[in-house]
C-alpha cells in the first residue's frame, strides 16, 4: 500500500510540475539570433561551443568558427566538423597563447586579421552560427576594442547566433549577451600530473 501511495503522490507531483513547465514554455514566443558567452576558469568552454556547432550542422545550417589566440592546432573537433564540407568554415588565426608569442604587436595584428574574417561571417545571411573561440582572451588584453566588437555583433542578421568563448569575459560582453555560462573547476586531472591527451584536450 505504501508503494501505491508513493506512486500516486509522485504522479500528482509530476502532473503539477508538467502543468507549470508547459505554461512556462508556452509563454516564450520570440525567436531570434542569440549572443551567448562561455567563460570561467573551468575546462569545456570551447568543447561546449563545438557541440552546439554539431547541433547546428545537423539542422543543415552553416557554421563559421574563428579562433583567436590559438594557433593552427591539429584538433579532433576540427577534423570531425570539417567532414561536413562546405557547411562549415574553420579559421584558426591565432599566433599561439600570449605567453608563447611574447609579442604584443604581433598578437594585436593577428587578432585584427581574425576579426576581419569574423566580421565577414557576421555579415553573411547564410551563416547560422558564428563561434568566436577565445575572443574573450583577445578582449581581456585589449587586442581588440570591446565597443567595436559588440557593435559588429549587433549588426548581424537577425536569425544568426554568436557564441563567444574564453576566460575572463568583460562585464560589457556579459551585459550584452543573452546567455552566459560560467564554467568553474572542481577537480582537474592536470593538477595530478596527467598531461594533455589526444581526443580529450585536442
Q: Dump pLDDT digits (tens) for 71-84.
A: 667 889 999 999 99
CB atoms within 10 A of CB 124: 16
CA distances from 54 to 49, 66, 83, 132, 190 (A): 9, 15, 11, 15, 27
Residues in a beta bridge with 11: none
* CATH classification for the domain delimited by 33-162+172-181, as one of 1.10.10.10, 3.40.50.300, 3.40.50.720, 3.40.50.2000: 3.40.50.300
Question: How would residue 128 be classed by pLDDT, with cut points 50, 70 and 90?
Answer: very high
Please determine, for residue 6, whether its predicted confidence score (pLDDT) is greater than 80: no
Question: Grid coordinates representing 175?
Answer: 551585459
Q: Which of 2-6, 61-65, 104-108, 179-183 has the lowest mean pLDDT?
A: 2-6
Distance of CA 187 to the CA centre of its chain: 22
Residues in the chain: 202
CA distances from 135 to 7, 8, 13, 125, 147 (A): 50, 51, 44, 22, 13
- Sequence spans of domains, the chain: 33-162+172-181
**Angstrom distance (rounded) from CA 113 to CA 147:** 17
Grid coordinates 545550417 are at which residue? 61
Amino acid at each position: 500500500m505504501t508503494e501505491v501511495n508513493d506512486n500516486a503522490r509522485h504522479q500528482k507531483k509530476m502532473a503539477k510540475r508538467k502543468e507549470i513547465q508547459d505554461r512556462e514554455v508556452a509563454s516564450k514566443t520570440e525567436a531570434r539570433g542569440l549572443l551567448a558567452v562561455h567563460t570561467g576558469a573551468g575546462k569545456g568552454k570551447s568543447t561546449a561551443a563545438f557541440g552546439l556547432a554539431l547541433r547546428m550542422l545537423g539542422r543543415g545550417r552553416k557554421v563559421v568558427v574563428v579562433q583567436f589566440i590559438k594557433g593552427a592546432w591539429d584538433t579532433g573537433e576540427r577534423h570531425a566538423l570539417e567532414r561536413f564540407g562546405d557547411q562549415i568554415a574553420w579559421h584558426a588565426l591565432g599566433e599561439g597563447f600570449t605567453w608563447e608569442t611574447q609579442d604584443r604587436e604581433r598578437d594585436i595584428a593577428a587578432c585584427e586579421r581574425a576579426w576581419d574574417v569574423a566580421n565577414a561571417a557576421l555579415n553573411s545571411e547564410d551563416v547560422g552560427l558564428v563561434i568566436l573561440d577565445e575572443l574573450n582572451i583577445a578582449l581581456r588584453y585589449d587586442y581588440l576594442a570591446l565597443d567595436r566588437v559588440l557593435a559588429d555583433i549587433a549588426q548581424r542578421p537577425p536569425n544568426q547566433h554568436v557564441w563567444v568563448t574564453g576566460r575572463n569575459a568583460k562585464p560589457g560582453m556579459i551585459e550584452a549577451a543573452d546567455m552566459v555560462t560560467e564554467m568553474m573547476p572542481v577537480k582537474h586531472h592536470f593538477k595530478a600530473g596527467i598531461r594533455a591527451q589526444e581526443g580529450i584536450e585536442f
